[in-house]
DNA sequence: TCTGGGGTCCTAGGACCC
DNA sequence: TCTGGGGTCCTAGGACCC
């Protein structure tokens, strides 16, 4: 069997741990830039009908009238709370895959002779006691069935917070109680297709002929289908695989028309992405830069463009990447538009150790080695002394465009940036 | 006025190779 | 009627996840 441990309304729950005044009241955590709701308390869902992605301005009245609290997203806090939760889980279920910021899968193969339901109930209680975050645990034969069991735990088994989907009868009932577009792997598009074809529940779905599923939804759909029948098709990933691409982009807090601030922002994102690149000891051979206006403006004011740059020598050096990225941006920048976002995507990642010197390139292996040492030193200083202690000049200092985070809570559990105030020289 | 960001995987079609 | 066959690489777009 497999277990899925998933926090309830995770960001909201993490905020409530350190701000008890937020408990039992309708509230939500906002996306980057405070743009829309991305985590909602049960009260916000049930009493105020706030949905995932509800824009900020549509909730303003509920906020000003005191019916709803909100916070900017505070990933430093959430990441650290999750680290604590997964540690507790590991003491009980050691074979663990951290799947997302608020979920982990566990392989229970070594727990054959235990009362799994009771073990899970105890674990859940322990997590709540030690961290203050409520979680639900679903147990099933495959990842997809564990996901379904988890949703049912949240809906139907609120008191224990655990649902064990073991017997054939439990599985059948579980599938019948699950709407087809609530199945992990079936999104809104396929959901619509299936409902049109008269397939309403997960149970209807597993009773389709396999060929039909393959034709309608390609091999991914077939994988979900087989998983629901109890065949393990999605393996556990105990080690986090290296990223195949790294992208960084943010919406601005206001629209930007001038080229200079766009370049500053892009330089910051490139620095951020290349730091992640070095963290996994990779280099990139190509990247894409894009710029766009808001998608909500009228057609004639809309503009989006991108450009792919192939590097003569794969690198993870921030300076080189910023220089090339800015050149690219100058080629797609058109004066007169009100830009909402620029971004960069590093692609064609490969291990640093594999890099071969470009036969005709100017950069020698020696110079490359020196650069790597320098960047490693910068990364270390920024880690110890706080982010952005050492920056490239191109990243600018004022950052008038930077993200809106008006309702940010403190980083209660981690130190750096809260303790040390760093000034750019 | 105001609508997130970071990923992965698959497929189709075009260009090009011998 | 019937216009090779096998392959790679690239891009764009679609779908999904949190």
Domains contained in chain A, CATH given: 2-76 (3.40.1170.60), 79-228 (3.30.70.270), 246-395 (3.30.1490.100)
pLDDT in tens, A153-162: 999 998 999 9
Which are the contacts of A254, defined by CB distance < 8 A and separation ≥ 6? A401
Residues A174-181: contacts with CB under 8 Å, at least 24 apart:
A174/A140, A174/A145, A174/A148, A174/A149, A174/A202, A175/A148, A175/A201, A175/A202, A175/A203, A175/A205, A175/A206, A175/A228, A176/A201, A176/A202, A176/A203, A177/A152, A177/A201, A178/A148, A178/A151, A178/A152, A178/A202, A178/A203, A180/A204, A180/A205
Which residues of chain A register pLDDT less than 70?
Answer: 355-365, 415-425
pLDDT of residue A356: 59
Residue pair A154/A5 in contact (Cβ under 8 Å)? The answer is no
Which are the contacts of A382, defined by CB distance < 8 A and separation ≥ 6? A275, A388, A389, A390
Whose CA is closest to A14, among A26, A3, A2, A22? Answer: A22
* CA–C1' A335–B3 (A): 24
Q: Is A34 (CB) below 7 Å from strand C?
A: no
pTM to 2 decimals? Answer: 0.89
CA separation for the pair A411, A408 (Å, rounded): 9
Cβ < 7 Å from strand C, A residues 73-102: 99-102
Cβ < 7 Å from strand C, A residues 190-219: 190-191
pLDDT in tens, A301-328: 888 888 888 888 888 999 999 999 999 9
* CA–C1' A99–B10 (A): 21
* CA–C1' A158–C12 (A): 45
Q: Is A188 (CB) below 7 Å from strand C?
A: yes
Q: Is A189 (CB) below 7 Å from strand C?
A: yes
Q: Is A245 (CB) below 7 Å from strand C?
A: no
Cβ < 7 Å from strand C, A residues 129-168: 147
pLDDT of residue A23: 95
* CA–C1' A219–C11 (A): 22
CA separation for the pair A29, A39 (Å, rounded): 5
* CA–C1' A383–C4 (A): 60
Strand C nucleotides with an atom less than 7 Å from a protein beta carbon = 11-12, 14-18
* CA–C1' A220–C3 (A): 37
| The residue count for chain A | 425
């Amino acid at each position: 069997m497999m277990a899925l441990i998933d926090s309830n309304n995770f960001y909201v729950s993490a905020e409530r741990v350190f701000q008890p005044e937020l408990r039992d009241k309708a509230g939500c955590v906002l996306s980057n830039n405070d743009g829309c709701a991305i985590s909602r308390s049960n009260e916000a869902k049930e009493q105020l009908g706030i949905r995932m992605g509800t824009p900020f301005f549509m909730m303003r009245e509920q906020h000003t009238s005191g019916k709803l609290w909100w916070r900017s997203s505070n990933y430093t806090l959430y990441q650290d709370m999750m680290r604590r939760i997964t540690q507790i889980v590991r003491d009980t279920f050691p074979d663990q895959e951290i799947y997302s910021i608020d979920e982990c899968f566990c392989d229970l193969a070594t727990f054959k002779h235990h009362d799994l339901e009771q073990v899970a109930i105890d674990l859940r209680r322990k997590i709540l006691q030690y961290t203050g975050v409520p979680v639900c645990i679903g147990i099933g034969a495959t990842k997809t069935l564990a996901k379904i069991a988890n949703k049912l735990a949240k809906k139907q088994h609120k008191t224990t917070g655990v649902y064990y989907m073991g017997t054939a009868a439990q599985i059948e009932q579980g599938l019948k109680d699950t709407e087809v577009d609530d199945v992990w792997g079936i999104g809104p598009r396929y959901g619509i297709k299936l409902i049109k074809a008269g397939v309403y529940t997960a149970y209807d779905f597993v009773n389709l002929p396999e060929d039909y599923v393959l034709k309608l939804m390609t091999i991914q759909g077939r994988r979900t289908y087989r998983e629901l029948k109890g065949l393990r098709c999605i393996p556990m990933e105990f080690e986090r695989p290296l990223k195949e691409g790294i992208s960084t982009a943010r919406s601005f807090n206001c629209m930007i028309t001038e080229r200079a601030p766009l370049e500053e922002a892009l330089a910051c994102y490139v620095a951020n992405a290349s730091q992640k690149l070095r963290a996994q000891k990779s280099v990139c051979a190509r990247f894409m830069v894009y710029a766009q206006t808001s998608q909500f403006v009228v057609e004639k004011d809309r503009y989006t463009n991108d450009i792919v740059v192939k590097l003569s020598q794969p690198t993870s050096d921030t300076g080189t990447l910023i220089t090339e990225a800015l050149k690219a941006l100058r080629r797609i920048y058109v004066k007169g538009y009100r830009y909402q976002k620029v971004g960069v995507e590093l692609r064609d990642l490969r291990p640093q150790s594999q890099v071969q010197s470009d036969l005709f390139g100017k950069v020698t292996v020696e110079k490359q080695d020196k650069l790597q040492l320098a960047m490693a030193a910068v990364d270390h200083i920024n880690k110890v002394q706080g982010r952005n202690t050492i920056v490239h000049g191109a990243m600018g200092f004022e950052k008038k465009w930077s993200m809106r985070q008006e309702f940010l809570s403190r980083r209660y559990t981690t130190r750096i940036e809260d303790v040390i105030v760093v000034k750019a020289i």
